[in-house]
Amino acid sequence: MNRQGEKWELQLKGSGKTPYSRNGDGRAVLRSSVREFLCSEAMHYLRIPTSRAASLVVSDDAVWRDQFYNGNAVKERGAVVLRVAKSWFRIGSLEILAHYGELDLLRMLLDFIIQEHFPSVDVKEPNRYLDFFSTVVSETAQLIALWMSVGFAHGVCNTDNFSLLSITIDYGPFGFMEAYNPDFVPNTSDDERRYKIGNQANIGMFNLNKLLQALNPLLDPRQKQLAAQILEGYPILYNTRFRELFKAKLGLLGKSKGDDDLIAFLLHLMEKTEADFTMTFRQLSEITQSQLQELSIPQQFWALKMISKHKLFPAWVSQYLLRLKSNMNDSDSERRKRMTNVNPRYVLKNWMAESAVQKAERNDFSEVHLLQQVLRRPFQKHSAAETAGYSSPTPSWAKDLRVSCSS
């Protein structure tokens, strides 16, 4: 319990074997621990629901890991992350009980979760499981839309890694997309690209369907029918939130029937030119309308300069400026102010995390500390971050960097 009266559940990742370790050693390596420590905090400051990292403790014990699952296990330095969340219950926590027919325990666990974490649901209400499911569907759609708005790919979106509270948990082979690519996969072991960034919304639907299957034994026929209808509404919830977030990223106010096309057009140009996702939106937040209108993109806006090479860029700019004119009671300075507040200048790109990890493995935690400072204020310019190149094009050595899910 903290000073505000909030309950938090504490977990030690990497502290050793527990009754639930199965065949693992219960340990974690410094590499994955630094990444989780930095990214969970970065996501919090990006205003995305997430577990938090309270501490990172480095061990001198050796941990053996086959990082890329190619039979070459190497000795790595161990570490322990103290991570906290309001709850660590996942969709899989309910699935396993339904699978083994432990329905009394399933009902008991669900009622506990509802009472503790879903104040809008009356635990004495006969339709409480329906109301619970409806909330999880809505908040999962919201969470994945938020991931997409910052170019975040979780990497392993199975039901054991999907929180019932719709927070981001289990930071493994995640990655923030650099060049815009709907097929972006940060995880070396995902050969089938099941968890590519462009498929995350569909995976959300798949996992929610698994949740519904786990709830079904507790529902009567009418409730089952209603629950199926709730699930059918997920795509609309997701697309609505996605549209709202990307309209905000473009500084658009009000509604226009062409908004979806305007967003899709820009993403198409970004994909064709391999433009940097984060910096394209950030630089659109900083460039003036007159600079855009003249198609005179200053060199500092390097991501926009990449897109400007596409023959259809002038057509998109024309549509965008026309749409901005329909913003009521708005000015260019207000637009830029609004956009810089939702488009981060800094996210934890894989090359930044890798650079910090390499130094940490040599007992130099200076870059871990620098990233901590920078990622706490991702929307503000930071002189040391600029010197480190955090808002510059991806270094050539990091172009094909992918991440193992070995922790």
Tell me the catalytic residues: 160
Determine which helix (DSSP H) or strand (DSSP E) holds 136, and give its type and residue range: helix 128-149
DSSP lists the bridge partners of residue 79 as: 58
41, with CB counted inside 10 A (0-12, 13-18, 19+), is buried
Taking alpha carbons only, the member of 257, 208, 277, 261 closest to residue 237 is: 208
The two tokens of residue 23 are 């065949």
Do the beta carbons of residue 327 and residue 252 sit within 8 Å? yes
Instruction: Give dist(CA 192, CA 195) in Å, integer.
Output: 8
Q: Can you state the percent helix, strand and coil of the chain, rounding each to 5?
A: 50, 10, 40
Instruction: Give dist(CA 259, CA 319) in Å, integer.
Output: 10
What is the identity of the amino acid at 17? K
Radius of gyration of the chain (CA): 22
The two tokens of residue 61 are 């014990």
Do the beta carbons of residue 287 and residue 334 sit within 8 Å? no
Ordered strands of the 9-13 beta sheet: 9-13, 74-85, 52-65
Instruction: Give dist(CA 304, CA 280) in Å, integer.
Output: 6
